Every structure is written in C-alpha cells, then in structure tokens.
Amino acid sequence: MGEPKKLDLHSLNITRQQKEKLRKLFPEVFTEDRIDFDRLKQTLGESIDTGKERYSMTWPGKSECFKLIQSPSIGTLKPARDESVNYDITENLFIEGDNLQVLKLLQKSYYSKIKMIYIDPPYNTGNDFIYPDDFKENLSTYLQYTRQVDAEGRKFSTNTDTEGRFHSKWLNMMYPRLFLAKNLLRDDGVIFISIDDNEVCNLRKICDEIFGEENFVAVFPWRKRTAKSDVPYGVSQDYEWIISFAKTESFNANIKSNTRKYYESPDLPNRPWRIHEMTTHRTAIERPNSNFTIINPKNGKEYPANKNAVWRVTKESFKKFYKEKRIVFPGDYDFLNISKPVLRYFKDEDKAKSGNSFGYTSVSTNLPKNVGMTQDGTKETSILFGSKIFYFPKPVNLIKYFIQMSTTIDKDALILDFFAGSATTAHAVLDLNKEDGGNRKFIMVQLPEKCDEKSEAYKAGFKAIADIGKDRIRRVIAKIKKENSQSLFQNQLDLGFKSFKLDSSNFKIWNTEGISPEQEALEKQLELHINHINPDSSQEDILFEILLKAGYQLSGEIKQIELAGKNVYSVNEGAMLICLENELTKEVIKAMADRKPGRVICLDQGFANNDQLKTNAMQIMKSKGIDDFRTV
C-alpha cells in the first residue's frame, strides 16, 4: 500500500500555479512539464513581441521581486487566545506579522475568497517605515526586524529621498505584495489603494501590470484637509488618491439608491412606473431622425424638438412607444408637474434588467462630503482612546463608503487590509454590519512595528502599532454592545476577532539549501527530521498550522470530539478530521474512517514506527472510500 502522503508544509507554490494556468490555455506548449517557448510563439503568432525595445515599467530589483514571490514561506500563524475577543465563535481575524509572509501563508486557504481589499501603504514621503529591501528575507529575517534592527544592529526605519534607490525600494516592497494580493481576490473582487502624489504614478503603472490595464476601475480623489497657506510653490496639496482595480470584469460597483421614485395609477393597476427625460444631449445634425415635432394624439398640442437636445425617439419609434403606453404627456396625471412629454419605465422591467442590483445605482468618483477628512479620523481615534495616540488615520466613513459600494449586495463578503495600521478598516466593517445587518468579515494584517518611545501611544502603554489596532477593535466592539444592549439584533453580529502571530513552523522542515555534504551536517538534518515537532508547540498551534497548510480557512468551524478514547478535531462539520495524538490505535483509525470525511490527517509520530498499523490505517481508509489520508 505504500506510505500515506505527507502534508505539504510550504505555502502555495506560485510558479506551479502560474504554469497550471498556462497549461489550461495552451497544453500543446508543454513538454515533460517544461514550457516550449518556440511552440508558444508559433501558437500565438504575431502576438509575441521579440524586439529589444518595448513599452514596460522597470526599475532596479524588479527581477528579484519575482524570485521573492516564488519563494515559499514555511512559517505559520500561531493563535493568541488571550488577545482575542469571542475566540471560539468569531470569524474575524487580526494577524500580527510581516504582510509578505502572511500573504504567502494565506494563499492556500483564501485563494479567490476575498471580495474587497483596502490598503493604506507607506506613501514613501521619506519618513515612512519601509520593509527591508533584502531579497534573501524570510521568516528568520522577519523575526530579526520585528525588533527593528538588522544583523549588524542597524535600525530599520525610514526610506529617505537622499538614497539612490528611493523609488526602487518602495516598488520592490509593493510589487510582490500586490501580486500575491491579486491571487486572494474573487473574480468579482476589487482592491482600493490609498496613495499621495509621491508614488501615485508608479503605483498606477505596477497595478496596470499586475491587474491588467483593462481592469482599471477609477482614481477617486479624496480631500484630506482644507487648504494651507504656507506651502511649497504656493500650492496646497489637499487631495490624496484612492486607486482602484478589479480582478476581472465581473466586478460592479453600486450603492443603494433612494432617488428613483415609482408612481401607481388606476389605468395601470399593479404596475408601478417612473418617468425619465425624453430629450438627449445630441443635436439635430447628429440625430436628424429625432428632430421632429411630437403631437399629443389626445388634444393635438405640439411639442417641437430642441435642435440642441433632440428627442430620444424617432417618428417611427414614438408611435410604437405611445401604443405601449410608454409616453406620458403634460396633463395626463394631476400628480405630475411636467411641461413636455417624458418616457415611462415600469418597475417590473427595471427589476428584470438589474437582477440582484435592483434599487442600486452606479457610483461617482466624486466622493460624498460625509466621507470626512484626516481631522475626522484623528477625532474618531481620540474619542475612542481618550487621547491622540495615532496620527493621520483614515476616517471610518471613507473606508465604509468603499466597502458599501463593493458589498452592498453581498453582505457576507470577506474584507482584507494588509496594512492595517490602527485597524480603521475593521472599525468600518463592524460599523457597517451594525447599520445594515450585514455579516461581512475582516482580516487585518499588521507588522509589529514599534511605537516611538516619545509618542502618546507608547506613554499610553502601546508598545507596537499592532497593539493599537487590536485595542481599537476591542473598544469598537464594547461601544457597539453598549449602544445596542437592549437590541436582539446585537446577537446576530460577529463582535469578536481571533488574534494570530506570524512565527516559525511548529515542524522542523527538511531543508536542502546550504547543507554541507559532510556527515555531521547530514546527521543533524536527519535528527531534525526524526524529531520534527517543536516541543514548545501546543496542540492548538499545530492544529492551526495544519488548517493553514491544508487549505482550510482559519475561521472555519472546529469541534473537539472523542473517538475510541482519543481526541479528534472535526473541521467544517466533519469535512476533515485531524488527530494529533502521539499514540494512535487501530480503533481510532477505524472510528475516523467510519465518519467518511473528505480528508484525514494524523501525526506521523503517532504510529510510533509501527509500520503494520500505518499499513492497516491506509487499508481501512481506502475501504471507506477515503483517498486523502495524510500524515505530518
């Protein structure tokens, strides 16, 4: 029967994933799992550009970005119950760690699951914290720079404009993160990115490359402040920009509309209708067939066309529309105050045409005034915390507006922010759910960047920015509970979050890179492979790493059950069973198989070198139709 399959403890293999996409489109260009580029050129013909000069966006280090994207993460996310709220029932997540590593770890579990991403990354003003520009960076260097220093003790801090690679460092930081983020978006998903004038052009160009120019949605100008007088060149830069790209053409932004009014009249029972202007912005020269005089058949009154704004109908289509009762004249109804003919549209037809989006309207890049400015964001956090502990947060209403336009119809959507800061996005999700009864969930990711020891936040007891974000969510939850203490509606809201921290794997993973062929080095690796579980890891730590590496969401339902005297975790109503016991028995193997889950995972050391038990386990699983039996 052979050995059970081993669970892959690496993050999603991006290279393999990209190759599989190409294989689906062009299977003929593959030879023994390698791409034949000459055959690909033949397949695509003139679409292939083989010239040396071409339009492209490039910078020092770009080629290394792809190596960084392709290198897997072997870290894990360890749960922190004591920092969480309603840990056992919530589906919201707060993850503390380098967002590049976290995005890699989320690939298997959240691939194509996110409806909307909002991020407010460093603007590259010369004062922003920029992640280390080191393409050998991995989990060990992350653990190093969470202390804000490198191996030589130099502080990781700002990216100053006096450095020769000022823009390149920022692009090298952003590109792989946006590339991985795109994978997480649903086909109807969308990303919104806040930025100022420093990198807006570069950001637009790399988004064109990653998401495709055809998926550009809009640039939303956001007024962050009122004009200042003492400014460079005498021009106050009062606006920032929110760049938006869709994953595919399936995304559609809309907002609930209260402007469309329907009428009911005795001549059209049970068929509500609305009216619409019958003139266009076209001239008589542009549409000569619509330049005519409409005559009311009931009283002979004439309505000549305006040569600069002719009718929407022609002479022939007017007759058809009138017969179908789609033309309304002045005087037809006492409750209508109109001076010229208008078109009539029926509610049932509006519903049929718009489907689920009925009652909604398209949005404008002209943001409503109530989205607020920076001073509103500062005021909100100051009221919550009782002091000014976070500078320049985005106002809640701004992010709430973008969540609304993306999820008004899909109120169960998943929202991601991997530059979480003070967790304004989580605040916006909780507030919006409270207002419209939605069930949206959030995933916040924030580097444990240290607070300045001279800052109000540090004096208030916050050692890192991530601590501010988590505490803000707790305070918002407490506020919602207090304001809705008498409401049964409160019980339907998800008022909690699970806290996780990026850390090294609970398993000592076999690593062939840089291993010396000398016997001592090989013996050390073999020893790690035999005793491969970190003795400091709890069962819960191991459980969540298995969930992550097996492609299950961290918010899924988990129940601990007892089978044949052993503890077993049932995931998503028995879709997967996980047994982390160090001493497995034939009875527990049979009990798990009898439940016929889709997948079973056990610790390899649970078989205690009992090859016969392992063979029997595989046979038992096979007999019950369970093909996915793995060990770790």
Q: Tell me, what's the pLDDT at 228?
A: 85
In the predicted model, is pLDDT for residue 323 greater than 50? yes
Mean pLDDT value across residues 207-216: 96
Domain with CATH 3.40.50.150 in the chain: 79-256+363-502
**Residues 247 and 187: beta-carbon distance below 8 Å:** yes
The DSSP bridge pattern shows strands 216-223 and 239-246 to be antiparallel
Q: Percent of the chain at pLDDT above 90? A: 65
Instruction: Please write the tens of the pLDDT for every residue from 91-135.
Output: 999 999 999 999 999 999 999 999 999 999 999 887 665 565 554
Backbone phi, then psi, for 88, in 5-degree steps? -75, -15
**H or E element, residue 507:** none
Least confident of 5-14, 89-98, 195-204, 327-336: 5-14
Backbone phi, then psi, for 222, in 5-degree steps? -120, 120
Instruction: Please write the tens of the pLDDT for every residue from 282-321.
Output: 899 999 999 999 999 999 999 999 999 999 999 999 999 9
**H or E element, residue 528:** helix 519-530
Q: Tell me, what's the pLDDT at 135?
A: 41
Q: Tokens in use for 42? A: 């033949």
In the predicted model, is pLDDT for residue 494 greater than 60? yes
Q: Which amino acid, one-letter code, is at 582?
A: N
pTM here? 0.83
In the predicted model, is pLDDT for residue 475 greater than 80? yes
In the predicted model, is pLDDT for residue 208 greater than 80? yes
Q: Tell me, what's the pLDDT at 357?
A: 67
Mean pLDDT value across residues 30-57: 75
| Neighbour order of strands in the sheet with 185-195 | 75-79, 498-504, 93-96, 441-446, 414-417, 114-119, 185-195, 239-246, 216-223
d(CA 324, CA 313): 14
Q: Tell me, what's the pLDDT at 572?
A: 93
Name beta bridge partners: 560: 569
Instruction: Please write the tens of the pLDDT for every residue from 19-28.
Output: 888 888 888 8
Q: Tell me, what's the pLDDT at 448?
A: 86
Mean pLDDT value across residues 392-415: 95
Residues in contact with 187: Cβ distance below 8 Å, sequence separation at least 6, in sequence order: 112, 247, 248, 250
Q: Tell me, what's the pLDDT at 529?
A: 53
Instruction: Please write the tens of the pLDDT for every residue from 187-200.
Output: 999 999 999 999 99
Q: What single-letter DSSP state applies at residue 371?
A: G
In the predicted model, is pLDDT for residue 153 greater than 70? no
Instruction: Please write the tens of the pLDDT for every residue from 438-455.
Output: 999 999 999 888 898 899
In the predicted model, is pLDDT for residue 518 greater than 90? no
In the predicted model, is pLDDT for residue 155 greater than 80? no
For 95, 99, 450, the CA distances from 420, given in Å and listed in that order, are 10, 10, 14
d(CA 43, CA 29): 8
Q: Tell me, what's the pLDDT at 27?
A: 86
In the predicted model, is pLDDT for residue 150 greater than 70? no
**Residues 137 and 69: beta-carbon distance below 8 Å:** no
d(CA 588, CA 569): 12
Mean pLDDT value across residues 265-282: 93
Q: Tokens in use for 317? A: 């289509």
Q: Percent of the chain at pLDDT above 70? A: 87
Mean pLDDT value across residues 526-543: 79
Name the pLDDT band for 350 (thresholds 50, 70, 90).
confident
In the predicted model, is pLDDT for residue 604 greater than 70? yes
pLDDT averaged over every residue in the chain: 88
DSSP annotation string for 212-269: -GGGEEEEEEEE-SPPPSS-GGG----EEEEEEEESSTT----EE------B--TTST
In the predicted model, is pLDDT for residue 408 greater than 90? no
d(CA 595, CA 481): 40
Q: Tokens in use for 353? A: 């045409």
Least confident of 71-75, 133-137, 226-230, 260-264: 133-137
Mean pLDDT value across residues 561-574: 96
Mean pLDDT value across residues 76-82: 97
Mean pLDDT value across residues 67-90: 93
Name the pLDDT band for 587 (thresholds 50, 70, 90).
very high
Q: Tell me, what's the pLDDT at 68?
A: 87
CA within 13 Å, CB half, 395: 16
Q: Tokens in use for 41? A: 């050129």
Report which of 422, 403, 431 is spatially closest to residue 494, judged by C-alpha positions. Answer: 431
Tell me which of 3.30.450.20, 3.40.190.80, 3.30.920.30, 3.40.50.150 is the CATH number of domain 79-256+363-502: 3.40.50.150
The DSSP bridge pattern shows strands 360-361 and 239-246 to be unpaired
Residues in contact with 618: Cβ distance below 8 Å, sequence separation at least 6, in sequence order: 1, 2, 4, 629
Q: Tell me, what's the pLDDT at 232?
A: 85
